[in-house]
Structure formats: structure tokens, C-alpha cells
DNA sequence: GATGAATGAGACTTCATTCAT
DNA sequence: TATGAATGAAGTCTCATTCAT
């Protein structure tokens, strides 16, 4: 989370301190509840109560429930992009290593944290809240995909990767991330009895497959697709 | 869908027939609406109206909106596996071709149809209905994964595939399917500005990547996709 | 009021009877309360309670408080215009008599009834509810002024009246009507101690003044205004 | 307005001066806003902000929003009559001219200024504040009407006017004034499409009609009503 | 069985008023 | 005295569910 909340302060300027901390406390409470119950099912009053304030106070800091949600997204995810992107600006290793690091860090920073719940939430409720969906698309999806695309482009440019279609390549990287979120938040909670998926291992395996494919040899790869290409 | 709905009949003698058909008509209407708007946003009255009955009648057959939802999922997801599995029992080509066919057929029969909405619906609402999630896991996910596993096993056994971890391999295949559903039902409505993803092409590309990886490799990388290169 | 409400019925099709009567009962309750407390200060629930139904029922018949108000206006005033206008289509007497009849009937049918409260209400709250103001302007003011204008035009055409500016003439007729409403609903409640204004007498006197002026003779009418004649 | 407001001073030593001026500044801000938006729609915080103080300070000086309203009306309506009355004590022209001057000056000094908002405000809110209405009646309406009555009496005495009922004559003069206020503050915002009413012209026309009537000839004024004729 | 009018809890949001600083 | 963060009652509107007909 971006905000640093220090709810327990007893110094002289107590009121001011509280005011500084309020948004962070509300954001934290909102993140918890949104992830736990979804956007529509989370009641504004409950967010306020969990943050230890009254209903009215919530609206003092966030003009509507939707604005609160946007703030949560910014605080949990999109606010970090500048830093995260910067790390890759200066990456010097192989592009394969870069892709591995991207997915690994994504898991550590988003997938494994509460922030991942936000993405799952969008998957679930986007269609009912078009404005939020647009916001998320613009604030999170677009920058994220841009970064993936830059990595793939680098691999193609350097000759490390085959000259693939970039957009579909991006989706190939995205798919396992979405899959993990789905496991964790939707099916995972009660999927099978066997917890047979260790995310870190899955990501490693996924990167491996992504880079090298399932096939043993270069083989006589079929001329892939002479089919559909329907529109 | 398993139920056969014939909503447009009102002749005198057909009254009894109608009574028999009621639950099916309600289920069909509910499926449409749940897929279209999600669980919370679907109003009971609208389901009833689309089924051609009154609100009261809906509650005559389903004691609550939740029960209706459960019934929809139960009614719409099983029964296809026996047939689909059988087709692969007798497959004779290469395992690469088998995998390609599996995903292609999945798209044609599930991904591209209304049935896909049910899966998306589970993704969205599973956490609110643990009982349903378990049911879905057992009835749909397990058989589906078993089939994928059999295909991969065949490839490994025949030496076509590298000796990968089977379970993670299954997830590698599953991920793009989930991703497509997500595109179609959740983010799709407003994702990007450009509808830059053609499912059939994506699946083909995905299978290609799955089989051969992104890396140029030692290999004579197939000229697989010299297409689109859209931006 | 246009609606005929018969709240007390015990015949077989009781429910249907109630349904017929509901809008009228709600309209009557709303009229009372709007006149008594104004638009903004009238709570929807109170309207419902006075009509003997629950909050939800009100919104079953009128989709919003504003729509309820519009319905009240139509029911109390503008719905009568067709009939009222018709009466003047066939008027055969002098235009002076016509004008006298117009104002007299206005008092009997609107000014002296609860409907007058609606006009007063618009005077008070129009600026806070622009949509309602526009509605009232279009539905009530415009037709009313059109009728007045027709009367004045008739007088001018027949030579009974001086060739006055029609629009200002309309306002001359309107002013005492507004004045009466103001007396009745705003200042009247506690104006002075002496109820020194009898509306019917005021109207008669006003018509007289309107027709003949205050001056004793035709005198040397000052060349006062040979102006505008706009419109 | 009686209070002199100097809202824009914040120098160090002027602190004490400010304190004295506070109530006046608040009253001025409140007057502006009440006239502009009405009582209910004016928010306490906005009044405070416009006066350059905080919300808390407003309640330091006025115990509630209602009290503030009363104070505004009390502060804004008296004091002008002595001067205005004096002007007419010494009037020497014709009574017709006197009446014309009275209405013209009223428009210049009241109707066209912010003061007119107070009267409109009384019209709107009087029924909710009976005490204020009584106060206004006594302090403003009564003296105003007395002046009009004196003018009419003068006309009758001198033989310029017909021997009309004085009280109703007063109301005939009052009506167009009220009408103008109504136009300006209530309906005006969206009345008609065309701003077809120029107050000065209207007043002139009104005076003309008042003096000479609509009818062409002195005619045989119908024996219509030598008053009462009620109902 | 079928209907649909009626219900009322509950959601979001506003804002006059309070009170610790 | 002045502040402004905090409160919470109140308002409009929705919708799953009930029940008299």
C-alpha cells in the first residue's frame, strides 16, 4: 500500500495527525472489505465502521463509493507503476531473465498480496460498473500490458525470441496471471481438496513453458495455423 | 443447456405441458440474465417476465434467488463430458494435433457459446457460494482437467513432449481458456479501445507457443506467425 | 381533481378496485402535503402514509418524487385545460364579459381550491427544481397565457379594446392572479389582523379597473408609451 | 441593506475590527445566498465560506440556520420608508404622475436591486416562519400600502380618479409589483423562451392600463360592480 | 396453481450541528 | 474566539419476498 497509516498517535497536534491518517485507514478497511465481499456487496457504512469512523466521515474523504474504489486501486496497484516500471528500464540481463523476473515480482507484489483481490473483483463486477471498468483498464491494464510488450519487444529485437505477434504474446503472459488470480480468489477457496498448485512453482514452470514450449525438439513444428483466422 | 425450452405456446390444452416446462423456461431465462448482468444485478422480476410468468410464480418453483442460481448452474454444466471424452479416446494423430483440436473444439463448443457464461459466472460468484463452487469443481473442472492430463501424458509417453510436470502442464493449457473467458465476459465489454483479440487466432497462437515456446532456440523455428503484428 | 377515488370498496375484485384507486389517493395526499409544506420539505414516506400505503407502493405508481409532483400538476390543473379552453371557444358575449368570466372562473376553479397551492409552490421552489419549473411553464403557464392572449386579441380585433401590446396585456391580467395566490398562501396566513380582502370582490374590482382604468374621463391620455409592441 | 459589509480586510491590527464586522459579513453572505438559492438549498458552510469564516464560527453568532434567516430578514428590510415617504409629502404634480413616479422609483430602488430578493424570500418562506411574516407585514407591507393609499386618496379627492374602493385600489397597484418580483426571482429563470418582459416598459404599460383601462371609450362603464358582488 | 400489488429493510448520500483542539 | 473534523439523522429510491385474491 502506498499510504502509511499510523492510527495511534497521542502527540499535541492529535487532530491533524488523525486527519493525515484517515484516508489510509479508510483505504485499508475498504481494500479488506472489497476483496472479501466484492464491490456491490460492500456497504459504505461497514467500511467506515472498520476504519473506526462514522458513515459521514467516509464521504468527507471520498465523494462516493466509486471514488473510494478508485482510490483503493491507485493506492494498491497503479500508484506503484512508476517505480516498478523504472526497475525494468535499467535491466541488463537476458530477456528471458527479464520475463522471469517480471512474473516473479508480480506474484510477490500483487498476486500474493491483498491487491490481487482487486483484480479478481474487476473480473467479477466490471460489467456492472462500466465506469470502474474503464478506470481500471486505463489505470492498470494498459500500463501493465505496455510493460509486458516492452519486454517481449526487447526479446524480439535482440534475437532472443522468435518474431512473434506482440499482442498475442502479451496475452500469453497475461493468461497465467489471470489464471492464478482465479485459482486464488474464485475457485481456489474450495477447489478440489488437494492444494496441488504452488504459485511460485507454477510461475516458474509457466515461464519455462513460455520460453521453451512443451515440445522436446525444434521438431517439425507444424506450419501452425493454416486455419480459421476468422474475424 | 440440458433443458429444452419452448416459451412460446399458450394453447388451451397445452396448459399442462406448460406447467411441466415452467422450470425449464425459468432456468433458461435466468441463465441468459445471469450471464448478461451477473447475479446481484439480475432482478427476479426480469427473470420471470422473460420466462413469461409472474414474479410470484418464480418463487413458487425456486424458494429464493440463490436457489434459482444454484439450479441454473446445475442445469447448465454437466452432461457434455461423456461425449467429448469419447472423441479423444479414439484420436490417432500426433499429440500436438490432439492438443490443438482439444482447444479448438473447446472454443467452438463452450468458449464461443452461452455455456461459457456459466463458467465466467462461477469465477465471479464462486466465493459467495462455496457449495456451488465445490459442485462445479467436481462436476466440471475435474473431468476437464483429467482429459487434458491424458493428452499431455500421451505426448510425454510418446516422446513428443518434454517430461514436464503434468499438473502444471494442465494449468498451462487451462490458463488461456480462462483468459479468453475473462476477456469475453468481464473485461471485454470495455477492454482496450481496439478489439484486438480474435479468439480463434489467439488459441492457435497459444497452442503454438505452448508447443514451441517463445525462444528462437537451437531449432529451426517455424515461420509460424508472420501475421498481424498489430500494435 | 381529475381522478375519481373510491377508497372504500369490499366487492369481489377488491384488489383491482384498490389498484384503480391508488393513484388518486396518492395524488390527493401529495397535493395536500405539497401545498402544506412545499416540495422539498415533503417526504415521500409521509405522502405514502397519508394515502395509507407503504413507502414502496408510492414508487410503484410514481417513479420519483418529481414525477409525483408532475402528476399532481396534471391532475389538479393542466388536465382541465382542454375543457376550460373549450368553454371560451364558443363564448358569444362581449370581450369585457369574457375577461370577467375568465378571471371569475379561474378563482372558482383554481384560486379558491387547493390547486392554487401548487402555483404558489412553483413560485417558491422553481429555482431549486429547474426541471419542474420547465414542466410547469410548459404545461400550465403557456396554455394559460395563450388563452388570455386570445381573449385580449378578440377585444382588440373587435375594437372593444385599445390596440395594446398583447404580451404586456397578458401580464396585466396575470398580475392580480399571482397577487391573490401570494395573499392566500404566503402573506395571507398572518397578514395584518384584518382580513380585508375578499377575493371575489378583488377580482371584480380588478376586472373593472383593468377595463376602465382608474381615471374618471378618457381625458387626455398621456402619450405615455407608444413603444415596443414586441412579439 | 442596513449593515455595511467590508468582507475583504485581513490586516493584523484589524483583527478587532473584523470581530465587530463578523455578524454583518455573515448576514451579507447569507442574504446573497438565500436570495440566490432559497432557504433550504443554502448550505450553512457556504454562507460561512463566503463570509470568510469557518462553519463553526457561523454557529457562534447564530444558534441555528433558522435564526440566521430571521436575522437576515430583520437586518435587510426596514429603514427606507421614512426617506421614501418624505419625497411624496411634497409632490406637486398630477396624481397620475405621482403614481407613475411611485412605481418607477420602487423598481429602481427595490425591484431592480438585491433588496427585492428579500421580498421574494418572504413570499416563499413566510408560511414556514409565521413570526417573520408578521414582522414583515408590520414593518414593510403596512407602511408601503399606506403610501399607496395616500396617493390614491389624493387622486380621488382631487377628482382625477373615479371614486374607487381604496383598499382594492391599493391591491391593484401592488399586484404588478409582486408580479415583477415573481418573474424576476421565481419563474424568470426559465420562464418562456423569450425574455419578453422589460420591467421598466411593463411598469409604464401597467401604469397606463391602471389609469386608463383596456377599453377604448369611457363608454357606459357597465354598472358591473359597485363592489361586493362576492361569489 | 398463478398473480401482481404491497411491503419494508436497507443502500447511498447530504448536511446542520457539535466539540476537542 | 475560531476552527474544521466528525457525527448521525434523515431523505430518496430499490428490490427480494409475501400473500390476498
Q: Which of B164, B198, B223 sits opposite A230 (nearest CB)?
A: B198
At B95, list the grid cell. 499429440
**B192 — alpha (psi -120 to 50), left (phi > 0) or beta?**
left
Q: Which nucleotide is nearest to D58 (CA to C1')?
A: F2
Q: What angle do CA C140, C145, C146 make, to 5 degrees?
A: 105
Q: What is the mean pLDDT of residues A15-40?
A: 86
> Which protein residue lies nearest to nucleotide E11, measured between its Cα and the C1' atom?
A43
> Which protein residue lies nearest to nucleotide F18, measured between its Cα and the C1' atom?
B56
Predicted pLDDT of residue D5: 47
pLDDT confidence band for D7 (50 / 70 / 90)? very low
Residue with more model confidence, D193 or B169: B169
Predicted pLDDT of residue C7: 43
Predicted pLDDT of residue B208: 86
pLDDT tens by residue, B87-104: 888 899 999 999 999 999
Distance CA(B109)–CA(D126), nearest Å, equals 72
pLDDT tens by residue, A145-192: 999 999 999 999 998 998 888 988 899 899 999 999 888 887 654 444
Evaluate whether D3 touches D75 at the Cβ level (below 8 Å): yes
Residues of B in contact with A211 (CB under 8 A): 213-215
Does residue B218 surpass a pLDDT of 70? no
pLDDT tens by residue, C80-134: 999 999 999 899 999 999 999 999 999 999 999 999 999 988 888 887 888 898 9
> 3-state DSSP helix/strand/coil percent for chain D, to nearest 5?
70, 0, 30
Q: What is the mean pLDDT of residues C201-221?
A: 73
Residues 2-41 of A with CB under 7 A from strand E: 12-15
pLDDT tens by residue, B108-157: 988 998 888 888 888 777 777 777 778 788 888 888 899 999 999 999 99
Q: Which of D96, D205, D228 sits opposite C168 (nearest CB)?
A: D205
Per-residue b or e along B23-57, where b marks 16 or more CB atoms closer than 10 Å to that residue's CB: bbbbbbbbbbbbbeebbbebebebbbebbbbeeee
Residue with more model confidence, A128 or B214: A128
A50 Cβ within 7 A of any nucleic strand F atom: no
pLDDT tens by residue, B42-89: 999 999 999 999 999 999 999 999 889 888 888 877 667 777 778 888
Distance CA(A77)–CA(B171), nearest Å, equals 26
When the pLDDT of each residue in chain A is averaged and rounded to a whole number, the result is: 83
Q: What angle do CA B71, B72, B78 make, to 5 degrees?
A: 95
Residues 144-203 of A with CB under 7 A from strand F: none
> 3-state DSSP helix/strand/coil percent for chain A, to nearest 5?
70, 0, 30
pLDDT tens by residue, A217-229: 443 444 443 333 3
Q: Which residues pair with B26 in a beta bridge?
A: none
Predicted pLDDT of residue C216: 62
Helix (H, G, I), strand (E, B) or coil at B32: helix
- Scanning every residue of chain A, which has its alpha carbon at the shortest distance from the alpha carbon of B198? A231
Residues of B in contact with A230 (CB under 8 A): 198, 200
N- to C-terminal Cα distance for chain C?
35
So where are chain C's domains?
Answer: 7-73, 77-224
Predicted pLDDT of residue D99: 92
A223 Cβ within 7 A of any nucleic strand F atom: no
Residues of B in contact with A229 (CB under 8 A): 198, 200-201, 227
Predicted pLDDT of residue C177: 94
Nearest 10 degrees: Cα torsion C27, C29, C30, C32 = 120
Does residue D216 surpass a pLDDT of 90? no
Q: Which residue has the cell 422609483?
A: D105
Distance CA(D125)–CA(A216), nearest Å, equals 87
- Cα distances from A155 to residues A96, A102, A160, B211, C53, in angstroms, run 8, 14, 5, 19, 71
Percent of chain A whose predicted confidence (pLDDT) is above 90: 53
Q: Which residue has the cell 410470484?
A: B56
Nearest 10 degrees: Cα torsion D172, D178, D183, D186 = -150
> Which protein residue lies nearest to nucleotide F19, measured between its Cα and the C1' atom?
B56
Helix (H, G, I), strand (E, B) or coil at D227: coil
Instruction: Indicate the class that CATH gives domain D7-73.
Output: mainly alpha
Q: What is the DSSP string of B75-124?
A: HHHSSSHHHHHHHHHT--S-HHHHHHHHHHHHIIIIITSTHHHHHHHHHH
- C4: burial class by Cβ within 10 Å (0-12, 13-18, 19+)? exposed
Q: What is the DSSP string of C102-115?
A: HHHHHIIIIITSTH
Q: What is the DSSP string of C47-72?
A: HHHHTTS-HHHHHHHSSSHHHHHHHH
pLDDT tens by residue, C111-125: 999 999 999 888 888
Q: What is the mean pLDDT of residues A63-70?
A: 93
Helix (H, G, I), strand (E, B) or coil at B170: helix
Cβ distance of A190 and B159 shorter than 8 Å? no
Percent of chain C whose predicted confidence (pLDDT) is above 70: 81
Predicted pLDDT of residue B81: 73
Distance CA(C3)–CA(B209), nearest Å, equals 73
- CB atoms near residue B11 (< 10 Å): 8
pLDDT confidence band for D9 (50 / 70 / 90)? very low
Evaluate whether A155 touches B218 at the Cβ level (below 8 Å): no
Distance CA(D23)–CA(D29), nearest Å, equals 10
Q: Which nucleotides of chain E does any protein CB come within 7 A of?
A: 1-21
Helix (H, G, I), strand (E, B) or coil at A55: helix
Distance of residue D135 Cα from the nearest chain C Cα, in angstroms: 10
D136 membership: H or E segment, kind and range = helix D130-136
- CB atoms near residue C127 (< 10 Å): 21
CATH level 3 topology of D77-224? Tetracycline Repressor; domain 2 (1.10.357)
- CB atoms near residue C63 (< 10 Å): 10
Predicted pLDDT of residue B190: 46
C125 Cβ within 7 A of any nucleic strand F atom: no
Q: Which residue has the cell 409589483?
A: D177
Q: Which residue has the cell 414474479?
A: B55
Predicted pLDDT of residue B5: 47
Distance CA(A43)–CA(A39), nearest Å, equals 8
At A154, list the grid cell. 526487447
Q: Which residue has the cell 390614491?
A: D152
- Scanning every residue of chain C, which has its alpha carbon at the shortest distance from the alpha carbon of D222? C208
Distance of residue A124 Cα from the nearest chain B Cα, in angstroms: 4
Evaluate whether A187 touches B124 at the Cβ level (below 8 Å): no
In the structure, how far is the CA atom of residue C178 from the C1' atom of nucleotide F2, in angstroms?
Answer: 46
pLDDT tens by residue, D68-123: 988 888 887 766 677 777 888 888 899 999 999 999 999 998 899 888 888 888 87
- CB atoms near residue C206 (< 10 Å): 25
pLDDT confidence band for C10 (50 / 70 / 90)? very low
Residues of D in contact with C229 (CB under 8 A): none
pLDDT tens by residue, D167-214: 888 988 999 999 898 888 876 544 554 567 889 999 998 898 888 876
Predicted pLDDT of residue C154: 93
Q: Which of B160, B202, B210 sits opposite A171 (nearest CB)?
A: B202
Predicted pLDDT of residue D10: 46
Predicted pLDDT of residue C22: 84
Q: What is the mean pLDDT of residues C16-25?
A: 80
Distance CA(A73)–CA(C96), nearest Å, equals 73
Residue with more model confidence, A180 or D137: A180
State the best of B127, B139, B152 to mutate against chain A, taking most chain A CBs within 10 Å: B127
Evaluate whether D72 touches D30 at the Cβ level (below 8 Å): yes
Residues 117-156 of D with CB under 7 A from strand F: none
Distance CA(D221)–CA(D225), nearest Å, equals 10
Helix (H, G, I), strand (E, B) or coil at A215: strand
User: Phi, psi at residue A161, to the nearest 5°?
Assistant: -105, 160
Q: What is the mean pLDDT of residues A87-105?
A: 93
pLDDT confidence band for A114 (50 / 70 / 90)? very high
Predicted pLDDT of residue B131: 75
Residues 6+ apart with CB under 8 A from A148: A102, A169, A170, A173, A174
Residues of A in contact with B215 (CB under 8 A): 96, 160-162, 211-213
At C218, list the grid cell. 378618457
Residues of B in contact with A164 (CB under 8 A): 205, 209, 214, 224-225
User: Phi, psi at residue A215, to the nearest 5°?
Assistant: -70, 145
Does residue C139 surpass a pLDDT of 90? yes
Predicted pLDDT of residue C86: 92
**Of the segments B67-71, C12-16, C147-151, C178-182, which one has the largest average pLDDT value?**
C147-151
Cβ distance of A231 and B198 shorter than 8 Å? yes
**Of the segments A212-216, B187-191, C140-144, C167-171, which one has the largest average pLDDT value?**
C140-144
- CB atoms near residue B118 (< 10 Å): 24
Amino acid at each position: 500500500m502506498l499510504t502509511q497509516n499510523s492510527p495511534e498517535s497521542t502527540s499535541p497536534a492529535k487532530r491533524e495527525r488523525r486527519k493525515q491518517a484517515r484516508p489510509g485507514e479508510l483505504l485499508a478497511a475498504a481494500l479488506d472489505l472489497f476483496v472479501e465481499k466484492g464491490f456491490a456487496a460492500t456497504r459504505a457504512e461497514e467500511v467506515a465502521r472498520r476504519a473506526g469512523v462514522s458513515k459521514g466521515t467516509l464521504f468527507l474523504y471520498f465523494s462516493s463509493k466509486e471514488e473510494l474504489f478508485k482510490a483503493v486501486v491507485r493506492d494498491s496497484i497503479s500508484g506503484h507503476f512508476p517505480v516498478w516500471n523504472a526497475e525494468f528500464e535499467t535491466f541488463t540481463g537476458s530477456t528471458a531473465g527479464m520475463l522471469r523476473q517480471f512474473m516473479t515480482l508480480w506474484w510477490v507484489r500483487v498476486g500474493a498480496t491483498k491487491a490481487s483481490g482487486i483484480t479478481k473483483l474487476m473480473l467479477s463486477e466490471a460489467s456492472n460498473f462500466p465506469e470502474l471498468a474503464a478506470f481500471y483498464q486505463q489505470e492498470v491494464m494498459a500500463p501493465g500490458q505496455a510493460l509486458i510488450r516492452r519486454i517481449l519487444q526487447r526479446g524480439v529485437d535482440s534475437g532472443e525470441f522468435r518474431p512473434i505477434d506482440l499482442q498475442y504474446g502479451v496475452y500469453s503472459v497475461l493468461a497465467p496471471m489471470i489464471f492464478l488470480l482465479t485459482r486464488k480468489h474464485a475457485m481456489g477457496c474450495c477447489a478440489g481438496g488437494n492444494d496441488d498448485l504452488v504459485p511460485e512453482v507454477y510461475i516458474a514452470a509457466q515461464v519455462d513453458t513460455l520460453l521453451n514450449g512443451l515440445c522436446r525438439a525444434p521438431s517439425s513444428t507444424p506450419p501452425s495455423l493454416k486455419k480459421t483466422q476468422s474475424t
